[in-house]
Structure 1
Amino acid sequence: MAAVLEKKTVEGVPPAAPQSVLEEENSPPPQAAPTFRDKLRKPLKFHLAFLSLLLMVFIVSIDATALGIAIPTISNELHGTTLEAFWASISFILIETIVQPIYTSVSDVFGRKLPLYVAFALFGIGSIVFALSQSLPIVIVGRVVQALGGGGLDVLNEVIIADITTLNERAFYIGLISIPMALGTILGPVIGASFSQYATWRWIGWLNLPLIGVCLPLCIFCLDLKPMSHTFKQQLARLDWGGIGLFTAGATVFSLPLSWAGSMYAWNSWQTILPLIIGALLLGVFAWYESKPAEPMFPYRIFNNRTAAATLAGSFIHGLILYTLIQYIPLFFQSVFLKGPLPSAISMISFFAALMGFTGIAALGVEWSRRYVWEIWLGWVFSAVGVGLLGLWGSDTTLAESSSFQVIAAIGLGTLFTVPPIPMQASAKRAEDQGLAIGILVSFRLFGALIGLSVAATVFSNQFGAAITSLGPLPDALAVLESPDEALGFIPYLQTVNVTSETMEGVRGAYAEAFKPIFYILAGFGVLGFFTSLWTRELTIESDEKGRQAFQN
């Protein structure tokens, strides 16, 4: 009887189960958890394969954060329009959001390695196209191809970690994988600013090739996963073609207006509302259809418990907050403090250092306590408080206030990067579903990022319009700012514009006022994230079961 109970989770206990059973389910079994030495006692081939995953995370993290700060330089050099610069900036995350669930589903049927190789190829080709671009439209093409591959690299590395590790050791390896993620996120803006100012922005693309040259062979020769049992023809037949088609169409049509609402078109325009409605209807049909296929993209069994639902909601909110902050904090430093791109990136080092540190510390906390709910709660408290404090920033903010507020927010956001994947995988009823579960969680996080960036752009535009109008007529050098949609694109030129100090002080104040509601809204989402986390149950993580694509010794 005891052996049977050990295999259950609280999610599977019937409502009528006695309290003693529930308590037993919520408590780890008496055997000792694996030690640090146990986790490292693996064959050399495993460690080399894991190194390839670390490099994969590093590549994607650098590339995702390096371009944003270099876009003004690229646009100026290639004589691009504001519209082209907008699409060069937003296209990567838009495409990644759409392709990540597809990669997860395809890899669950065909195995991880074939989609992984396709992702490497597309990412490398896109990097070359980007580096050789002679016009902004070609830059956009390069970024789209990169995103088609980068989306796969981003999601498959976390899926593969779920394949090659057991649940009771996963917090340790997730903690390790968070280090190159945070390191790449720290270095990305610095590299992007340095290349664009002191060398050439094209090196942002060229830099990927030697990294791929090291990472890809390690994946080919060392990442030895258990092969799938079906033939290629059977795999083609098992793939959820209808679901992939409906999801791709629905997600594309729904995501496009979210990317341009408030920037290209107003929220209440037909160009925004009509595709949103059509996209929502297509996604609704997709959700209904997913109960039909034998191997659906989004199996209902992944979502049919409250821990998974709460974790996915939290991941969506986490992505909404984190990626919006990464985009808008440097813009605050450039517009309100009049810093250049490189000093602005350096000003975020405290944020990224704390983010990196607490992704690892949080993982160690789970390792030590064998519990995760308390860390999720603390993560949301720190996130909400820290992001809310950013709303107090102004042109007279001190370095201590700037750095300390970022650190408070980063403590929470770093914790929430590491810990929620644990309950998401623990809630899966079958070990072989854990990779699929983490892939879906990563997709929700990135979709939240798209929503957050869209909301922030609209809030900024509306608030800046009101603030700049209160200053009265602007001099000719600043006349472009009378259109709020041009305010973000004009930020790199604020340092060189020739106006009186009094006028510039008013403009800096207008920018500061435009950023405040963004930070307060994100803090409100942090509070919402805390309330969703109250539905998360403390499931056991003491499982040695391996998925069907486990590492072969």
Structure 2
Amino acid sequence: MDSTRKLTVTTLDVSTGTMKSSPSALPGGDPEKEHNDTGDIPIRQGEAQKKKTFGFHMSFLALLVMCFIVSIDGTILAIAIPVITHELHGTTLEAFWASISFVLAVVIVQPIYTSVSNVLGRVIPLYASFLLFILGSIVFASARNMGVLITGRVFQGLGSGGLDVLNEIILADITTLKERPLYLGLLAVPMAGGTILGPIVGGLLSQYTTWRWIGWINLPVSGIGFLLVALFLRLKTIDRSFRQKLRRLDWSGLLLFTIGCTLFTSPLAWAGAMFPWSSWRTLLPLCLGVAILFIFGWYESRSKEPVFPYRIFKSRTASTTLLASFLHGWVTFSIIFYLPLFFQAAYLNTPLQAAVSILPLCATSVPFGIISAVVVEVVRKYRVLVLASWVFTAVGTGLFTLWSQSASLAAKASFQIIFGIGTGTLFSILNLPIQASVPRIDDMGTATGILVSFRLFGALVGLAVCSTVFNNVFASRISLLGALPDAMAMLSDGRNAIEFIPLLINIDVVPELLESVIEVYRYSMFVIFWMLAGIATAGFFVSLLIQEKSLEKEELGRQQFEDRASTTPCS
């Protein structure tokens, strides 16, 4: 054993997995640059650590399972919600909240999970996420009315938000930036797989068995993920007592963020769907939410453990990457929501047929998420790929508006493939520029959590804006058709248009009127696609500000993977 290695071993604190600050601890290094605010130095990855153990691979499998749970649960309900609402005698308003409550819960809790896991460690919030998700799934599957079902979806969202953000944070903890592109590519597989299977499984269960299995099937999958975490995920602990950790939590900041974000995001979700944008029910909570979030921002600059550390936003690359992630969520989740509805309205597909129709998009994002990560792994550059991805996303979205009533299968599939290439690549590689630009190694997990939160917040804003655009355009176009027969009278209010789509297949009206109504649906969704193409174009110009940063960092943070079986006492 050489002298450098002896020095490293003798200064290693096994309980924390960190090296105590000492000018001689890292020969030839700059102690000032290596320190974080706790006085610890992140351990550099040695040759022995580069060889991944069985425990590491099983822990990564747990992250893959978590990613699959989140992606399938986020898409499985959309196809089944009309059937559920009918069986439980729900209203349009209750159907709306059954869908949106999940997203709202996810958006609100993700930054909270990020902040709490930085102080308490990742494992406690992760266990809480699993338990909340499992509880929510049981409540959902057992529901006998829409109120209980919505409660179950809220609990699922609280759990899913943690699983979603913590799986990417933990990946940043246990891998170095240098090796991370490969693992990000692998993480894209369950993400896209869940997105593909979600609508199909939801359609099959609601059409041929019972929608309650949407909740029950979560239990064995979640159980597998929970066991893998409990048995194999071993992270370096933070060297403080539990009471000290609780004192370091920014309780006031967390409270301000929760209240402000809830008040701000809720009216975004219901504006145009439940109440008009001009209604006081929309404007009052929206303005209160903005005011509280401003107070939260001022307070965070003085907090020791802020929910959103200011130092991350000081980097131009980090800030523009967060904005790009926001726009990516806006475009991607809006397309995932409206594309199946387009196939049902424009081509009178059943929900299951519509789910199958969007397979080209979902299936394309899997290989290109992996391919893009492999390309970055080889060339060690990401900026050109980010810009090219936005081009594919914008072009693919715009091409959707060329689908005519007689569009061929090739046209429907190829345009989705173009879009899938762009959005799938962005899912994999937008993590890299923000992680490469953070000022401290330990900030990589925090930055990743914030990135995921921005993506989901973009999804919420995008869905709200798309809903308003669709309702307004549909209402103005349908009014041009004049008085509608009783069977279609509810379409006079544009807010009922989405709910009415499943009825188009069997409605008894003259063919000419049906074709005219279908054309209104087609044009209204084309307006959404045009808008989203513009948002994707904006994403391209925003990404021009992203700089190429080095991906050669090999340090691991404080909460890195620790193989307990191979740990030996250090003298």
Q: TM-score, normalised by structure 2?
A: 0.90
Give distance in 2, aligned partners of 1:91 and 1:393.
33
Distance 1:513 1:442, change over 3 A: same
**How far has the Cα of 1:39 moved from its partner?**
10
Given candidates 372, 386, 397, the residue that maps to 1:387 is 397
Tell me which amino acid in the other structure corresponds to 1:283: L
Amino acid at match of 2:514: M
- Counterparts in 2 of 1:372-451, with a 5 A limit? 372-451=382-461
Q: Distance in 2 between matches of 1:8 and 1:505?
A: 67
Q: Distance in 1 between matches of 2:196 and 2:274?
A: 30
Q: How does 1:227-306 map to 2 (within 5 A)?
A: 227-306=237-316
Is residue 395–residue 512 contact of structure 1 (8 Å, CA) maintained in 2?
no
1:548 paired residue among 558, 561, 564 = 558
Shift of 1:398: 2.1
Other-structure match for 1:16: none
Match of 2:346 among 324, 333, 336: 336
What is the rounded CA distance, in whole Å, between the counterparts of 1:207 and 1:238 in structure 2? 38
| Aligned counterpart for 2:155 among listed residues 145, 149, 155 | 145
Alignment check: 8 A CA contact 1:385 1:409 kept: yes
Aligned to 2:78: 68
Displacement after TM superposition at 1:394 (Å): 3.4
Q: For the residues of structure 2 that align with 1:155 and 1:529, how far apart are their CA atoms?
A: 22
Match for residue 481 of structure 2? 471
The amino acid that maps onto 2:91 is T
Which residue number corresponds to residue 542 of structure 2? 532
| 1: CA distance, partners of 2:229 / 2:511 | 56
Partners of 1:132 and 1:275 lie apart in 2 by 32
1:41 aligns with 2:55: no
Q: 1:364 aligns with which of 369, 374, 377?
A: 374
Greater CA deviation, 471-480 or 74-83? 471-480
Which letter does structure 1 place at the counterpart of 2:435? Answer: Q
Distance in 1 between the 2:534 and 2:222 partners?
40
* Structure 2 partner of 1:159: 169
Partner of 1:113: 123
Shift of residue 159 of structure 1? Answer: 0.3
The alignment status of 1:322 with 2:332, answered yes or no, reads yes
Q: Which residue identity is paired with 1:115?
A: P
Pairing of 1:13-32 with structure 2 (within 5 A): none
In structure 1, what is the equivalent of residue 322 of structure 2?
Answer: 312
Alignment counterpart, residue 89 of structure 2, candidates 73, 79, 96: 79
Query: Separation in 2 of the partners of 1:100 and 1:229?
Result: 25
Partner residue of 1:497 out of 507, 511, 520? 507
167-176 or 395-404, which deviates more: 395-404
- TM-score, with normalisation over the residues of structure 1? 0.93
Question: Which secondary structure state, in structure 2, belongs to the residue aligned with residue 225 of structure 1?
Answer: coil
Equivalents in 2 of 1:443, 1:346: separation in Å?
A: 29
Structure 2, unaligned runs of 5 or more: 1-27, 35-44, 564-571
Q: Secondary structure at the match of 1:431?
A: coil
* TM-superposition CA deviations, 1:41-65 (whole Å, max 9, x none): 3110111111111011111111110
Query: Structure 1 residues 39 and 322, CA, compared in 2 at 3 Å: closer, same or farther?
Result: farther
The alpha-carbon deviation at position 483 of structure 1 amounts to 1.0
Q: Secondary structure at the match of 1:499?
A: coil
Name the CA distance, whole Å, in 1 between partners of 2:318 and 2:528. 28
**Cα shift at 1:40:** 8.3
Q: Distance in 2 between matches of 1:451 and 1:186?
A: 23
Instruction: Tell me the distance in 2 between the aligned counterparts of 1:479 and 1:393.
Output: 28
CA distance in 2, matches of 1:296, 1:503: 58
8 Å contact 1:39–1:169 — kept in the other structure?
no
Q: Which moved more, 1:465-474 or 1:323-332?
A: 465-474
Q: Distance in 1 between matches of 2:495 and 2:405?
A: 22
Q: 1:513 to 1:34 in 2, by over 3 A?
A: farther
Backbone CA RMSD of aligned residues: 1.8
CA separation in 1, counterparts of 2:284 and 2:404?
38
Provide the rounded CA distance (Å) in 2 between the counterparts of 1:534 and 1:482.
44
Rounded to whole Å, the distance in 1 between the matches of 2:499 and 2:135 is: 29
Following superposition, the deviation at residue 393 of structure 1 comes to: 2.4
**One-letter amino acid matched to 2:94:** E
Cα distance in 2 between the residues matched to 1:392 and 1:268: 34
Structure 1 pair 39/477, CA: closer, same or farther in 2 (3 Å)?
farther
Q: CA deviation at 1:395?
A: 2.4
Could you tell me which residue of structure 1 aligns to residue 69 of structure 2?
59
Structure 1 residue 4, shift from structure 2 partner: 6.7
The superposition leaves residues 86-115 of structure 1 with CA deviations (integer Å, 9 ceiling, x where unpaired) of 000111011100000000000000000000
Percent identity (aligned)? 53
Structure 1 unmatched runs, 5+: 10-32
| 2:472 maps to which of 462, 466, 476 | 462
Residue-by-residue CA offset, 1:293-327 (whole Å, 9 max, x unaligned): 11111110111110001100000000000000010
* 1:349 aligns with one of 338, 347, 359: 359
Could you say which residue in structure 2 is the equivalent of 1:198?
208
SS at match of 1:543: coil
* Residue from 492, 498, 508 that aligns with 1:488: 498
CA distance in 1, matches of 2:551, 2:461: 32
In the alignment, which of 135, 138, 149 is matched to residue 128 of structure 1?
Answer: 138
Helix, strand or coil at the partner of 1:67: helix
SS in 1 for 2:507: coil
Q: Does the Cα contact within 8 Å between 1:34 and 1:169 map onto a contact in 2?
A: no
Name the aligned partner's letter for residue 384 of structure 1. Answer: A
Rounded to whole Å, the distance in 2 between the matches of 1:173 and 1:8 is: 27
Q: Which sits farther off after the overlay, 288-297 or 157-166?
A: 288-297
Instruction: Measure the CA separation in 1 of the matches of 2:249 and 2:405.
Output: 55
User: Within 2, Cα distance between the matches of 1:459 and 1:399?
Assistant: 28
Q: CA deviation at 1:34?
A: 12
Cα distance in 1, alignment partners of residues 333 and 222 from structure 2: 25
Structure 1 counterpart of 2:7: none
Match of 1:523 among 533, 546, 562: 533
